[in-house]
Copies of this chain bind each other. A is one copy, B any other.
Amino acid sequence: MSTEPGDEAVGHDELRLASRNHAMPLEALALDVTPVGLHFVMCHYDIPLLDTRPWRLDVVGLVEMPRSLSVDDLRALPSVTATVTMECAGNGRSLLRPRPVGQPWVDGGVGTAQWTGTPLADVLAAAGVQEGAVDVVFSGADHGTEHGSEQDYARSLSVADATSDDVLLAWAMNGAPLAPQHGAPLRLVVPGWYGMASVKWLRRIEIRDTTFTGFHQTRAYRVRESGRDVGVPVRRIRPRALLRPPGFPDYLSRIRVVEVGDHELTGRAWCGSAPVTRVEVSTDDGDTWADAEVSAAPGSAAWQAWRWRWAARRPGRAMLRARAHAADGSVQPDDPRWNVHGVVNNATQRVEVLVRA
């Protein structure tokens, strides 16, 4: 059995996290929209089990008219449904060496859903954001400690980012009320950004005239190259292509088996900062690459399907890879770029296949 891409072992605490949270099984790349239960889930603390009816979202701080809105109040406003690919900032963490400790994602920390909600910009406009506002802080009902810091999970956006026209206060996912693990009854959805921005169980929006310095804004979710590096904040999703592993798997190693012959390789590719313009595929672990056919995106923040016909002529091992390029010139690296927190590792995927005669 292969243990590519490395054997560095995972401890019990991380295993418990990996057991609570879950990836999208890669066969779900076949689906345009990822069903609840297959869409990735990442929750820092316990999942709050909340009643929708008494729930209130408070909009406070530097606003003309502070608000306390029920989910029904929000549903009565004009709504939007957007298809959004969401990815965990830590996707790929377990493939880094040395391995940063944390939720030990392999490569499936992703999913695409249809989110329905009220544009945040409308709610902020109705509340009246005052002069001097700098940050908009979003707090959830999930509570815990992390590296000695106790908090409700909270993240901020600049006023400019918060009032862009695609950010939603979402109460439905794939046409159904939110599931508890996806933030019921209300979550923020920030298309194009890694998942940490899309605060679940949202109960408070505070507009401030100072920069927010909460744990998940300034300590976690930063790309730091060393312990001394203050780093840069994680924001928009870097380009990534994933291929749906062909054939059938070995249970433990997930090495695939296919027969000699033609196989249509398919997958998805996405990028939070620009459309994906090109996907390349390799069957020899990156020695040579060929261009796949890439479809248009079903929405401005949704993944794009791609396909490529593989003529598998020789029995033996093959290592499949896929590599996405985006319109802004960004491209996936072939090797992981290490950082302290193990975030934004969008190195190209490797899928080992046994071709048999």
Contacts and interface: CB of A to CB of B under 8 A. Distances in A.
Contact of A45 (B7, B150, B249): B249
How many copies of this chain sit in the oligomeric assembly?
2
A3 B35 CA distance: 34
B108 A37 contact: no
Given A20-B23, A22-B22, A251-B45, A3 B13 contact: yes
Counting chain B CB atoms within 10 Å of each CB, the highest count among A20, A44, A143 belongs to A20
A145 B250 contact: yes
Contacts of A108: 19-20
Nearest to A245: B46
Contacts of A12: 3-8, 94, 106
Contacts of A248: 45-46, 143-145
Contacts of A7: 11-12
Interface string A2-44: 1111111111111111111111010110110001111001011
Contacts of A28: 47, 49, 180
A23 B15 CA distance: 11
Contacts of A30: 49
Interface string A194-207: 00000000000000
A254 B27 contact: no
A41 B25 CA distance: 11
B253 A13 contact: yes
Interface stretch (A77-85, A97-105, A157-165): A97-105
A108 B47 CA distance: 14
B15 A20 contact: no
Contacts of A250: 144-146
Given A19-B105, A104-B19, A179-B37, A25 B10 contact: no
Nearest to A49: B30
A251 B35 CA distance: 26
B22 A47 contact: no
A76 interface: no
A1 interface: yes
A181 interface: yes
A181 B37 contact: yes
A357 interface: no
By DSSP majority rule, is chain A's interface helix, strand, loop, or mixed? loop
A176 to B, nearest CB: 9
A12 B1 CA distance: 11
A25 B46 contact: yes
A37 B176 CA distance: 13
A30 B51 CA distance: 13
Interface string A247-273: 011111110010000000000000000
Contact of A3 (B11, B36, B257): B11
A28 to B, nearest CB: 7
Given A28-B49, A37-B41, 20 more contacts: A2-B13, A3-B13, A6-B12, A7-B11, A7-B12, A8-B12, A15-B94, A15-B104, A16-B254, A17-B252, A17-B254, A18-B19, A20-B22, A28-B47, A31-B49, A37-B182, A45-B249, A102-B252, A144-B251, A145-B251
